């Protein structure tokens, strides 16, 4: 489900005119096609196994049994995941106009983590009523909490905010399918999971899609720069915006 985030972000950004799509030019077609190919590659990894690449002597006949009484839970899970994808895509899209008016990325990251902490604490108070589960009993639990807080929340949110400020929400969202590829690779190398041909095919599609989007963004940036150099008013505006960004960065430091 998370692989739908780039498509949702793409649609939201286009609707709010944060992303311009020119299907007449090659870079516009490359961005749309790259997004679709990348999502398709992640979908292949998720839904299609294929034949095993390396036989590690694992049990290949694992069966997953889903009872009919779980259909209601599956429906709720689908709705929750779709809400998660919509919220995530909306957060990335709304970051772009916010950063134009409030470019203090570290402060914005602090606000994001702080209000997220408040929301999760309120939910946890109602969901986790057993006080024993609030006690840290091992170094592994402490490491997991610190990693989730410092790396997965603080550092990742800041880097995503910085990338959105530099290149826009679609540029950040299109890297989401790469997470599926990295999970498959790490599961194979660290946990010893079986690697299938579907993972290889999906990885090729993901990398091809990322290349198309990055190429399209680069060509779009070159074209905008050439047009601004031909138009004196646009060039002046571009220089003023660059100076404004530089002064904001210096003030933030």
Question: C-alpha angle with apex 65: 62 to 69, nearest 5 degrees?
Answer: 170
- Of residues 120 and 174, more confidence is placed in 120
**Are the CB atoms for 27 and 216 separated by under 8 Å?**
yes
Give mean pLDDT, residues 30-54. Answer: 80
pLDDT at 56: 53
Residue 118 domain-assigned (yes or no): no
Whether residue 92 is contained in a domain is answered as: yes
β-partners of residue 196 are: 52
Closest CA to 206 of 37, 44, 9, 45: 37
pLDDT tens sequence across 113-152? 899 889 989 999 898 888 888 888 899 999 999 999 899 8
Confidence of residue 159 (pLDDT cuts 50, 70, 90): very high
Confidence of residue 252 (pLDDT cuts 50, 70, 90): low
* Ramachandran angles phi, psi of 168, nearest 5°: 100, 165
Q: How far apart are CA 18 and CA 5, in angstroms?
A: 16
- Rounded Cα–Cα distance for residues 168 and 38 (Å): 18
Q: Give Cβ neighbours of residue 243 (< 8 Å, ≥ 6 apart).
A: none
Is 49 domain-assigned?
A: yes
Mean pLDDT estimate for the chain = 79
Predicted model pTM:
0.68
Enumerate residues 6+ apart whose C-beta is below 8 A from 226.
none
Q: How many domains does the chain have?
A: 1
pLDDT at residue number 146: 93
Q: For residue 38, is it within any domain?
A: yes
Nearby residues of 184 by Cβ (< 8 Å), 6 or more positions away: 45, 193, 195, 199, 202, 203
Is residue 14 a contact partner of residue 35, using CB atoms and an 8 Å limit? no
| 128, part of any domain | no
In a domain? residue 80: yes
**CB–CB of 136/142 below 8 Å?**
yes
For residue 31, tell me if it sits in a domain.
Answer: yes
Comparing 25-29, 61-65, 100-104, 184-188, which segment has the lowest mean pLDDT?
61-65
- Do the beta carbons of residue 195 and residue 60 sit within 8 Å? no
Q: How many whole angstroms separate alpha carbon 85 and alpha carbon 2? A: 6
Range of the domain at 36: 2-59+68-101+169-252
Question: Is residue 141 assigned to a domain?
Answer: no
pLDDT per residue over 49-75, tens digit each? 787 776 655 444 444 444 445 667 777
Helices assigned H by DSSP within the chain = 5-15, 26-47, 71-101, 105-127, 139-146, 156-167, 169-173, 177-189, 197-230, 232-252
């Amino acid at each position: 489900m998370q692989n739908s985030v780039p498509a949702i972000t793409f649609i939201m950004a286009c609707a709010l005119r944060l992303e311009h799509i020119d299907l007449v030019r090659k870079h516009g077609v490359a961005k749309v096609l790259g997004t679709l190919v990348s999502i398709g590659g992640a979908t292949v990894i998720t839904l299609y196994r294929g034949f095993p690449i390396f036989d590690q002597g694992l049990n290949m006949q694992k069966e997953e049994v889903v009872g009919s009484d779980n259909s209601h839970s599956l429906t709720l899970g689908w709705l929750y995941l779709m809400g998660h994808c919509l919220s995530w895509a909306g957060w990335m899209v709304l970051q772009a106009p916010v950063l134009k008016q409030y470019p203090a990325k570290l402060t914005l990251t602090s606000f994001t983590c702080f209000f997220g902490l408040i929301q999760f604490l309120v939910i946890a108070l109602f969901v986790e009523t057993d006080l024993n589960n609030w006690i840290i009993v091992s170094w592994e639990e402490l490491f997991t909490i610190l990693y989730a807080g410092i790396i997965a929340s603080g550092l990742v949110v800041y880097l995503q905010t910085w990338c959105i400020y530099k290149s826009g929400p679609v540029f950040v969202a299109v890297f989401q399918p790469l997470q599926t590829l990295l999970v498959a690779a790490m599961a194979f190398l660290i946990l010893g999971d079986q690697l299938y041909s579907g993972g290889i095919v999906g990885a090729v599609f993901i990398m091809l899609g990322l290349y198309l989007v990055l190429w399209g963004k680069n060509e779009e940036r070159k074209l905008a720069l050439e047009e601004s150099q031909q138009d004196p008013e646009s060039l002046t505006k571009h220089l003023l915006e660059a100076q404004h960004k530089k002064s904001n960065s210096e003030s933030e430091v």
